[in-house]
Amino acid sequence: MIYHLLFPLHTTISVFNVFRYITFRTIYAGITSLLICFILGPWFIRKLTEMQIGQYIRKLGPESHHKKAGTPTMGGTLILFSLTTSTLLWADLTNSFVWIILFITVGFGIIGFIDDYLMQVRKRNKGLTATGKFILQCLLALVAGFMVWSCNGFSTEVTIPFFKNLSPDFGRGYIIFAALIIVATSNAVNLTDGLDGLAIGPIIITAATYMLLAYVAGHVKLADYLQINYVPGCGEIVVFCGALAGAGLGFLWFNAYPAQVFMGDVGSLSIGAAIGAVAVITKQEILLILVGGIFVIEAFSVIFQVSYFKITGGKRIFKMAPLHHHFELKGWAEPKVIVRFWIIAIMLALISLSTLKLR
Ligand code: 57M
C-alpha cells in the first residue's frame, strides 16, 4: 500500500522514486515485520499467558522437555500478522504472485490455527487428525498449484541444479508437483520445530537465500547471464522473502533458548508452506532440497526411523526421531543442537547459491 500510495507522487516529490526499487522495499519490508514483532511481542505473549494458551508436552519425550509445559504457544499468529501486514504495505499488490503467496501462507496458517486451537480446547497434545490435516493441506496446495500454473507465461519446466540442459516439462502435472513441494515443506518445517529456535533459524536463512534467488529469477538480464529460468514478476517475491526474514528474526527474539513462546502449528505449517510456494514461484523447486536441507534431513530421519521400526518389529536407527531428539538424548545441550543445525543450514545455503555459477 505504501508503494501504491507514495510511488505515484514521484513526479512531484522525486525522492519517492525510491519506492520503485525492489531492494529498497525489501529492506523496509524486513524492518517493518521485525518491528511489528518487537513491539507487539511482549503484549502478545502476555495475552497468550492470560488466556492460558500453553503447550501440552508428550509424555514420551525427552525428560528435558517436561519443564517446557505451559510455555505460551501459537506465537505463529504474530509471525503471520507481521508478515502479511508488511507484505501488504511494501509489495506491488497488482502482482498475482503476491496474492498467491499470501493465500497459501494464510491458508496453511488457518489449518495450523485450527489444529492448535483444538489442542487447547481438548487440553492435550491432540489437534486435527493426521489424515484430516493432510487432506486440507493437499486441497489448499492444489488450488495454489493451479493458480501458479495458470499465471500468464509460467513455465512448467523444472530446473535441475548442476544440469543446465536438463529441464523436464511437467505440463499439467506441474500442479501436482507444486502441491507436493508445498505440502512436503510445510510438514518438514513442522517436524523440525521441536527445539527453541530450531525451525525459525533455518527459515530465516532459507528466506534470505530465496531473496537472492527470486531477485535473479525476476531480473531478465541476471537470469539470462546465470542461465536460470526468467520468471516475469517474481521480483515481488523478494519483498515477501524480506518480510519473512524480518518476521522470523523478530520471532526468534522471543523464541531463542530458553523460549518465551513457541510458534505452534499456526506458525510452522504456514511458513513451511510459504517457503515451498516461494521455491515454486521462483522456479527453484529442486534447489529447495539443498537450501532447506535441515528440514529434509529432519523429515527423512522420521521416515527412516518409522520404516525401520516397522520392518524390524521395534528396532530403531536413532535414539529418537526427528533427528534433534537423537542428539538431545546423546547428551548434547539444547542450545548446542540448535546452533549446530543453524551452522549446517548456513553452509547448505551457501552451497545452494554456488550452484548459480555451476550450471
Ligand atoms: C510436531 N511438535 C513438537 C510447538 C511447536 C511421526 C512423528 C515423528 C511426529 C512427530 C511430531 O508430531 N512432530 C510434529 C512437533 C512440540 O512443539 C509444538 O508443536 C509446534 C510445531 N508443530 O511450535 O507448539 C514440542 O517441541 C518442543 N519445542 C521446543 N521449542 C520450540 O520452539 O522445545 C517446540 C518448539 C513442544 C516442545 O517440547 O512441546 C513435538 O516434538 O511434539 N513426533 C515426534 O516428534 C515425537 N517422536 C517420536 O514419537 N518418535 C518415535 C517414532 C518416530 C518411531 C521414535 O523415534 O521412536 C516426539 N515428540 C516429542 N517428544 N515431543 C517424541 C518425543
In this structure, which residue's CA is closest to atom 1 in ligand 1?
A: 191
DSSP assignment string, 25-60: HHHHHHHHHHHHHHHHHHHHHHHHHHTT-B----TT
Ligand 1, closest atom to CA 269?
22
Alpha-carbon gap, residue 72 to 134, rounded angstroms: 25
Is the distance from the beta carbon of residue 199 to the nearest atom of ligand 1 less than 6 Å?
no
- Residue 178 inside a domain? The answer is yes
Ligand 1, closest atom to CA 197?
32
- Residue 212 inside a domain? The answer is yes
62 and 329 Cβ atoms separated by less than 8 Å: yes
What lies within 8 Å, CB to CB, of 116 at 6+ separation is: 53, 73, 74, 127, 264, 265, 266
Quick one: pLDDT at residue 107?
98
The predicted model scores a pTM of 0.95
In this structure, which residue's CA is closest to atom 20 in ligand 1?
A: 264
In this structure, which residue's CA is closest to atom 54 in ligand 1?
A: 306
- Residue 90 inside a domain? The answer is yes
**What string of pLDDT tens digits covers the 359 residues of the chain?**
888 888 888 888 888 888 889 999 999 999 999 999 999 999 999 999 998 888 877 766 777 788 888 899 999 999 999 999 999 999 999 999 999 999 999 999 999 999 999 988 887 777 789 999 999 999 999 999 999 999 988 999 998 888 877 889 999 999 999 999 999 999 999 999 999 999 999 999 999 999 999 999 999 999 999 988 999 999 999 999 999 999 999 999 999 999 999 999 999 999 999 999 999 999 999 999 999 999 999 999 999 999 999 999 999 999 999 999 999 999 999 999 999 999 999 999 999 999 887 76
237 and 97 Cβ atoms separated by less than 8 Å: yes
Distance 329 CA to ligand 1 centre (A): 14
197 and 160 Cβ atoms separated by less than 8 Å: no
- Residue 294 inside a domain? The answer is yes
In three-state secondary structure terms, 216 is helix
In this structure, which residue's CA is closest to atom 37 in ligand 1?
A: 194
Is the distance from the beta carbon of residue 204 to the nearest atom of ligand 1 less than 6 Å?
no
In this structure, which residue's CA is closest to atom 13 in ligand 1?
A: 191
- Domain extent, residue 274, equals 2-354
Number of domains in the chain: 1
Quick one: pLDDT at residue 65?
83
Ligand 1, closest atom to CA 334?
33
Quick one: pLDDT at residue 359?
64
Is the distance from the beta carbon of residue 13 to the nearest atom of ligand 1 less than 6 Å?
no
Alpha-carbon gap, residue 252 to 259, rounded angstroms: 9
284 and 292 Cβ atoms separated by less than 8 Å: no
Is the distance from the beta carbon of residue 324 to the nearest atom of ligand 1 less than 6 Å?
no
Is the distance from the beta carbon of residue 272 to the nearest atom of ligand 1 less than 6 Å?
no
In this structure, which residue's CA is closest to atom 5 in ligand 1?
A: 264
Closest CA relative to residue 279, chosen from 293, 268, 264, 265: 293
The grid cell for 87 is 507484505
Alpha-carbon gap, residue 17 to 19, rounded angstroms: 5
Radius of gyration, alpha carbons of the chain: 20
Is the distance from the beta carbon of residue 259 to the nearest atom of ligand 1 less than 6 Å?
yes
- Residue 359 inside a domain? The answer is no
- b (16+ CB within 10 A) / e for 65-97: beebeebbbbbbbbbbbbbbbbbbbbbbeebbb
What lies within 8 Å, CB to CB, of 244 at 6+ separation is: 33, 83, 203, 207, 271, 274, 275
- Residue 217 inside a domain? The answer is yes
- Residue 142 inside a domain? The answer is yes
In three-state secondary structure terms, 329 is helix
- Residue 139 inside a domain? The answer is yes
Alpha-carbon gap, residue 342 to 331, rounded angstroms: 18
